[in-house]
Every structure is written in structure tokens, then in C-alpha cells.
Amino acid sequence: DVKVTQSSRYLVKRTGEKVFLECVQDMDHENMFWYRQDPGLGLRLIYFSYDVKMKEKGDIPEGYSVSREKKERFSLILESASTNQTSMYLCASNGYTDTQYFGPGTRLTVL
Amino acid sequence: EDQVTQSPEALRLQEGESSSLNCSYTVSGLRGLFWYRQDPGKGPEFLFTLYSAGEEKEKERLKATLTKKESFLHITAPKPEDSATYLCAAIRTTNDMRFGAGTRLTVKP
């Protein structure tokens, strides 16, 4: 079974703090994704990575950056957290098929 | 603009009362249509992929169908454990998966 893990289930940060969210997958997948999920808006793609050190912006990259130094690990960075970044963050990965497998999510609250 | 719309937003059923969830899409060059189940506070769990109009897939009490404009998730004789949010998503390319906002299903015993 594919396993995608995320470093924290719940996180509370202050405005202006730098926040790191980490995601690890154990299936040697090439592609990894970061989404945010907000009520009524569905999942929106923040960033996508198709290989180590390779990334593409998604629909809402503003205020975020990413890092992929190893194939199994994809990090999302909030350089200076703001209250409008309070959300559920979901990491996903896929390999040779289009099916994306998701982690459990990190619920981030920015105060 | 590519769009995926799910209806209804919320659905309450009695145990055993069959129904259908709708996912309509306007996505040019559709490559596949996905259904996921999401329990509160958790990540989406993959259910089905449909690739061409007329295709059907089944798993226990769930059956997904696809036409050129929409997909349905039919739930037959649901049980309380089927309560969850069901998401559909349409994909054009590897990094272009568009999600609907979901249908929140509640099944009462």
C-alpha cells in the first residue's frame, strides 16, 4: 500500500513566523503535490514537483515555497505566515498512474 | 474555464435509502475522472478512476459511472459507515487535477 505521511496533524503558529510542513512518501513516486483545502473551495494546488529539485507553481503559489532535496520528501514553506493561510494542507504523490495518494493532512492555524 | 461542480452540497439518507451524487465537469481534454472519499480531519482516500464515457466501476455499495459531461456515484443501501465527504476530480495532465467542493453524505441508522 502507498503510504504518504505528513509531519504534523495540527499546527498553531503566530503571524510572521516561518512554517515548515513536511511530507514523505514510501513508493518511489516521481510526482508530489501540495494542496490546501478550504470549505466550499475544494482542493487547490499550491505547488507540484516532478523530480528532485524540480517544481512548478500551481494555482495559488503566492506566499509559499517548496523544497524537494530527496525523491521521497517534499516540503512546503510559509516564509511569513499570515492569518489567511489558516487551512488544511494536503500532500499527495503519484507515480506511473494518474491516481494521487494523499497524506492525512495538516490543519494549520495562524493566529 | 475548467470547472468541476458537485451536487448536492449535503445529503442526508436513512440507512438503506439508495441515492446518487452528481459531478458535472467542463474540462477540455479530460484524461480521467476520479472519486475520493474523505472522512473528517483526514486526507482523501482513492475510490475509483473512470477514463471513458460509458465506463462503470463498482466497490461494495458504491458504483461510479461516467458520461461526456458528468459522473455519478450511486450508493446502494447505504450504511452509517458510508457517511463521509465524497470528492470528484477531473484530470487533464499530471499536474492539472481539478477538484469539486465535495458532497457531504450523512447516513442515519
Distances in Å between the Cα of B8 and the Cα atoms of A77, B12, B22, B40 are 35, 10, 7, 18
Share of chain A above pLDDT 70, in %: 98
Burial class (CB in 10 A: 0-12, 13-18, 19+), B22: middle
| A 58-97 → B contacts, CB under 8 A | 58, 90, 92, 94, 97
Distance between CA atoms of residues A75 and B59, nearest Å: 34
Residue range A17-67, pLDDT digits in tens = 999 999 999 999 999 999 999 988 889 999 999 999 999 999 999 999 999
Helix, strand, coil % in chain B, rounded to nearest 5: 5, 60, 35
Given an 8 Å threshold on Cβ–Cβ distance, is A41 in contact with B87?
Answer: no
Minimal Cβ distance to A42: which of B31, B42, B100:
B100
Query: CB-based contacts of B52: which residues, under 8 Å, 6+ apart?
Result: B66
Residue range A83-101, pLDDT digits in tens = 999 999 999 999 888 899 9
CA angle B12, B53, B16 (to 5 degrees): 25
* Predicted pLDDT of residue A2: 66
